[in-house]
Amino acid sequence: MIEAIGLTKRYGRTVAVDNLSFTVEPGRVTGFLGPNGAGKSTTMRMILGLDRPTAGRVLIDGKPYTGLHRPLRTVGALLDAKWVHPNRSARAHLKWLAKSNGLPARRVDEVLETVGLTGVAGKRAGGYSLGMSQRLGIAAALLGDPQVLLFDEPVNGLDPEGILWIRNFMQGLAKEGRTVLVSSHLLSEMALTASDLVVIGKGKLISQSTTQEFVDRSSESAVKVRSPQLGQVAPLLVHKGFTVRDNGDSSLSVTGATSDQIGDIVAAHGLVLHELSPQRGSLEEAFMQLTGDAVEYHAEIGK
Amino acid sequence: MIEAVRLKKHYGRTIAVDDLSFTVCPGRVTGFLGPNGAGKSTTMRMILGLDRPNGGDVLIDGQHYASLKHPLRKVGALLDAKWVHPNRSAHSHLKWLARSNGLPTSRIGDVLEMVGLTAVAGKRAGGFSLGMSQRLGVAGALLGDPEILLFDEPVNGLDPEGILWIRQLMHRLADEGRTVFVSSHLLSEMSQTAQDLIVIGRGKLIAQTTTEQFIHDATEDRVRVRSPQADRLRELLAARATVIEDAVDHALVVHGLSAAEIGEMAAEQGVVLHELSPQRGSLEEAFMQLTSEAVDYHAHS
Amino acid sequence: MTLLAVERIKLFSTRSPWWCAALALVITTGIAALIAANTSAEFPLTVGLTQAFYSFGMYVVLVMAALAVTTEYRFGTIKATFLAVPNRVSALVAKTAVVAVMAGLIGEAVAFGQWGISKLIKPNADIAINSAVEWRNVAGVGLVFLVGSILALAVGILVRHTAAAVSILLVWALIVEQLIGIIPKIGEKIQRWMPFVNGNHFLTAGGPELQPDPIKYPFGAWGSLGYFAAVSVGLLIVALVVAKRRDA
């Protein structure tokens, strides 16, 4: 578990993180979202003891990172895949990391196997593609078999197979009861990966909830209805006080009602349904709506 | 329009692109997909005359890139946002590009405004974040107001707002009748962006079709059904189709019947439905299905 | 003309040419000042002596010229260049022209800077530039820098990597050309065909020799410059053909 309590970080007069409190639970993949400059990286760096908070604190299983005896055995992190000496081989890089935390050397081969780098383990890391560097970073994070994992933009540079692999992998880690915190800008990807979300903007907490709640809260949900007897269904629903809009493709968009309610009404009148699907807003829509004024930086294309 | 005809490229004994033919049409966003090492970058570089094909040909509106008089007025490309001298300012970078293709200096201010870099135009590009470099790359691509645009991983380094912006930009460019060709690994993003797809694997064409058709061909449609009379409904459906129960909310997922058919059955038998949603496969599923033999490189989980 | 303007914008929108020019000037005028200050009646200051260490400035300019193309490869801007100007030969010729002119101007600044500071320190010394030989010795420095920069660009285009290009140039100009003369019997016969040796001969031929020159040059002063230029341009042509053929 990760707990941030009143976390604050100032650089000179710029407030990067402002009295931020949140909890990341074990057993779930938690997405960490925010526009550029929201303070995500700074927060992750503070979680890992790389930056010192100006105020407040952040605890990992009740202890600050710097208070952990063997940090790699508690926390694994992938912040930047390029933090490897380019002339060192993947195996050598993992070996010194293992040594530093008293981990057995065989663990190096295990994690290389897990991420699929066994074949190139002896080659210098400087020659790796971004995707391979990313896999090496993940191998390093897994080395100490930690209970808490942090990933910053893990799909960066991965190809579709790699993206699918890491998504399943992170969900697998969560299922084993680990705490997984993933920061990413790719909302369509996060919608598939994260079951919980911590959303920040301008250094402040905007929302902490499940992904489902986050999306439902900020986007209007409609139900799409198709029927061969649409002409009879529509007046029924209007009569009940629901808002009904004709989509023009012989389907209706109904707001103000759940699909359960609509199904009950249609069945009670013995009418036939060809479709009754709740339309959920996208994570992107919800995100844009909630962080609208927390964005530091706007492109002008809309004008 | 971009036309590749039997394009071939090998490096020593490694074949990067093998007898590849495709057409990218104007007025649409065309996605260019393939696993790592499939030959996407090599193909894009050959389109732009940076690499020389070992065989075949690739033409832009019937001409080779190298024979275009003012190439930036015809084709705008963002292949790598880092192709900027780090000590040169964004403005200077665009200035020499504009000058080389006889474009008015006023165009520089226009494109900087479009991508939202006006405020940092005088700063050295080396200090830019990846997202800002990406915007500068887009500005460079738009500079000559070209009819054809090529983007390689355009959302790289952009934040959610930037991602939405560039998706809308690509749609708008296509709506204006331009040819937009985008290569990306982010399938969930591409399924929202590209209307057409060109999919390659191991240097060979796997599919050229619309996104919708691609997904339809490679995945099975299914219908999610919920009912207060779930057991009754399951009995009805199981007689005619495969039914799986969703572990989370106990909805039934039906393979082999259309939503309309299920609706008719339910109405006939007086079963109340609380949900009847046709589910389409994802681009990712379709892609994995079709390229599984063409992946160079496998991880074991 | 457009391509020249493009390369001019590129060259002057980074700081490195200014740094190189300043460094070349500071080193050469500094040494010239030291020499001038140490001359005396027995060891008089001459026009030739003011230019004795022009080559230090040339090394800096060789590095600048090589960097002008290797940084394009290093940062990938060469691809942006070839996208904007698919005719690679014209793009690279334009770059060579701009860099060579810049090198020539730095060379003139170095030459007259050395002469000027010497005059300033020893106003009474007889270093007025009168004869054609003296004019060649001073104003010719710019031409040698110009030709040398063409050779450096050619090396840069061929090897593409900064460290490799700079090492090749400096090892060649500073060590190989000087030491090759030591080889018994054939050393001198090879040395007389070395490009930088010939560039130097162009400047010093016909003037008072500071130390006896053991080399029997195949050409006169202008012939030597022509030979130096032919080697540089020849290498450039090879480099252009290679750049045109290979993948960017």
Mean pLDDT of B22-32: 97
Interface residue A155 vs chain B (CB under 8 A): yes
Interface residue B105 vs chain C (CB under 8 A): no
pLDDT digits (tens, 9 = 90+) for C194-209: 999 999 999 998 887 7
Question: Would you call B162 and A260 a contact, using CB atoms and an 8 Å cutoff?
Answer: no
pLDDT the model gives residue C211: 73
What part of A 23-62 touches B (C-beta under 8 Å)? 33, 35-36
| A218 has pLDDT over 80 | no
Q: Phi-psi category of C29—alpha, beta or left, where left has phi over 0 and alpha has psi -120 to 50?
A: alpha
Q: Tell me which of A294-303, B97-106, C100-109 is least confident.
A: A294-303
The distance between the two most distant Cα atoms of chain C, rounded to a whole number of Å, is: 62
Same domain as A193, residue A231 = no
Same domain as A225, residue A79 = no
| Structural domain span for residue A43 | 2-216
Interface residue C214 vs chain B (CB under 8 A): no
Closest residue, chain B, to C13 (C-alpha)? B88
| B297 has pLDDT over 70 | no
Mean pLDDT of A39-54: 91
Question: Would you call B160 and A287 a contact, using CB atoms and an 8 Å cutoff?
Answer: yes
A16 part of a folded domain: yes
Alpha-carbon span B266 to B260, nearest angstrom: 10
| B221 has pLDDT over 90 | no
Our answer on whether B and A touch (3+ beta-carbon pairs < 8 Å) is: yes
| Structural domain span for residue C169 | 2-245
Q: Which of C76, C87, C248 sits opposite B51 (nearest CB)?
A: C248
Instruction: Give chain C positions within 8 Å (CB) of B125.
Output: none
Q: What is the mean pLDDT of chain C?
A: 92
Same domain as A73, residue A152 = yes
A294 part of a folded domain: no
| CA dihedral over A96, A125, C156, C139, signed as positive or negative | negative
| Contacts with A252 (C-beta within 8 Å, 6 or more apart), sequence order | A224, A225, A226, A230, A233, A234, A237, A244, A245, A246
| Contacts with C3 (C-beta within 8 Å, 6 or more apart), sequence order | B100, C85, C90, C91, C93, C94
Counts for chain C of helices (H) and strands (E), in that order = 12, 0
| Contacts with C110 (C-beta within 8 Å, 6 or more apart), sequence order | C24, C25, C28, C29, C54, C57, C141, C145
Question: Would you call B116 and A188 a contact, using CB atoms and an 8 Å cutoff?
Answer: no
H/E stretch holding B217: helix B211-218
Return the residue in B45, B60, B97, B100 with the most chain C beta carbons within 10 A, the one to mutate for interface testing. Answer: B100
What is the nearest CA distance from A290 to chain B, expressed in angstroms?
Answer: 12
Closest residue, chain B, to C6 (C-alpha)? B96
| B298 has pLDDT over 60 | no
| A298 has pLDDT over 60 | no
What is the nearest CA distance from B261 to chain A, expressed in angstroms?
Answer: 7
Q: What proportion of chain A, given as a percentage, has pLDDT over 90? A: 51
Question: Would you call A264 and B165 a contact, using CB atoms and an 8 Å cutoff?
Answer: no
| B9 has pLDDT over 90 | yes
Domain count, chain C: 1
pLDDT the model gives residue C182: 87
Quote the Cα angle for A155-A157-A159, to 5°: 80
Same domain as A248, residue A207 = no
Counts for chain A of helices (H) and strands (E), in that order = 11, 13
Question: Would you call B169 and A298 a contact, using CB atoms and an 8 Å cutoff?
Answer: no
**CATH code, domain with A226:** 3.30.70.980
Chain B with chain C: Cβ pairs closer than 8 A: 82
Mean pLDDT of C186-191: 90
Question: Would you call A165 and B301 a contact, using CB atoms and an 8 Å cutoff?
Answer: yes
pLDDT the model gives residue C99: 96
pLDDT-derived band of residue C23, with 50, 70 and 90 as boundaries?
A: very high
A9 part of a folded domain: yes
Q: Which one is predicted more confidently, C216 or B107? A: B107
Tokens matching residue B263: 């609706």
pLDDT-derived band of residue A73, with 50, 70 and 90 as boundaries?
A: confident
Same domain as A154, residue A17 = yes
CB A276, CB B275: distance < 8 Å: yes
What is the nearest CA distance from B127 to chain C, expressed in angstroms?
Answer: 14
Question: Would you call B274 and A114 a contact, using CB atoms and an 8 Å cutoff?
Answer: no
Q: Tell me which of A49-53, A218-222, A280-284, C70-74 is least confident.
A: A218-222
A301 part of a folded domain: no
Q: Pairing between strand A252-255 and A222-226?
A: antiparallel
Q: Pairing between strand A148-152 and A75-78?
A: parallel
The residue among A180, A199, A216 that closes a domain is A216
A293 part of a folded domain: no
pLDDT-derived band of residue B293, with 50, 70 and 90 as boundaries?
A: low
Q: Which of B116, B287, B291 sits opposite A299 (nearest CB)?
A: B116
H/E stretch holding B72: helix B71-74
| B296 has pLDDT over 70 | no
Interface residue A186 vs chain B (CB under 8 A): yes
CB B33, CB B181: distance < 8 Å: no
A172 part of a folded domain: yes
DSSP string, C115-156: HHHHHHH-TTS-----SHHHHHHHHHHHHHHHHHHHHHHHHH
A114 part of a folded domain: yes
Interface residue B59 vs chain C (CB under 8 A): no
Q: ipTM for the complex? A: 0.85
Tokens matching residue A94: 């993992």
pLDDT the model gives residue A300: 40
Same domain as A173, residue A98 = yes
Question: Would you call C2 and B99 a contact, using CB atoms and an 8 Å cutoff?
Answer: yes
Mean pLDDT of B241-266: 88
Same domain as A265, residue A122 = no
pLDDT digits (tens, 9 = 90+) for A112-156: 999 989 988 888 888 888 888 888 889 989 998 999 999 999 988
The residue among A168, A193, A216 that closes a domain is A216
| A164 has pLDDT over 80 | yes
Closest residue, chain B, to A159 (C-alpha)? B185
pLDDT-derived band of residue C210, with 50, 70 and 90 as boundaries?
A: low
Same domain as A227, residue A105 = no
Question: What type of residue is A187?
Answer: L
Chains interfacing with B (3 or more CB pairs < 8 Å) = A, C
**CATH code, domain with A172:** 3.40.50.300
Mean pLDDT of C242-248: 89
DSSP string, C187-234: HHHHHTT-HHHHHHHHHHTTS--SS------SS-HHHHHHHHHHHHHH
Same domain as A205, residue A157 = yes
Q: Which one is predicted more confidently, B248 or A65? A: A65
Question: Would you call C77 and B83 a contact, using CB atoms and an 8 Å cutoff?
Answer: yes
Tokens matching residue A143: 């080395």
Instruction: Give chain C positions within 8 Å (CB) of B93.
Output: 13
Instruction: Give chain C positions within 8 Å (CB) of B50.
Output: 79, 82-83, 247-248
pLDDT-derived band of residue A293, with 50, 70 and 90 as boundaries?
A: low
Same domain as A270, residue A167 = no
Instruction: Give chain C positions within 8 Å (CB) of B66.
Output: 86-87
Q: What is the mean pLDDT of chain B?
A: 91
pLDDT the model gives residue A302: 35
Q: Pairing between strand B148-152 and B179-183?
A: parallel
Same domain as A100, residue A178 = yes
What is the nearest CA distance from C95 to chain B, expressed in angstroms?
Answer: 12
Instruction: Give chain B positions within 8 Å (CB) of C2.
Output: 99-100, 102
CB A93, CB A125: distance < 8 Å: yes
Domain count, chain A: 2
Same domain as A130, residue A90 = yes
Closest residue, chain B, to A261 (C-alpha)? B274
Q: Which of B80, B97, B99 sits opposite C76 (nearest CB)?
A: B80
| B211 has pLDDT over 60 | yes
Mean pLDDT of B178-191: 95
Spell out the domains of chain B, with CATH numbers in brackets.
2-216 (3.40.50.300), 227-274 (no CATH)
Interface residue A264 vs chain B (CB under 8 A): yes
Q: What is the mean pLDDT of chain A?
A: 88
Burial of B177-207, coded b for 16+ CB within 10 Å and e otherwise, reads ebbbbbbbbbbbbbbbbbbbbbbbbbbebbb
Interface residue A161 vs chain B (CB under 8 A): yes
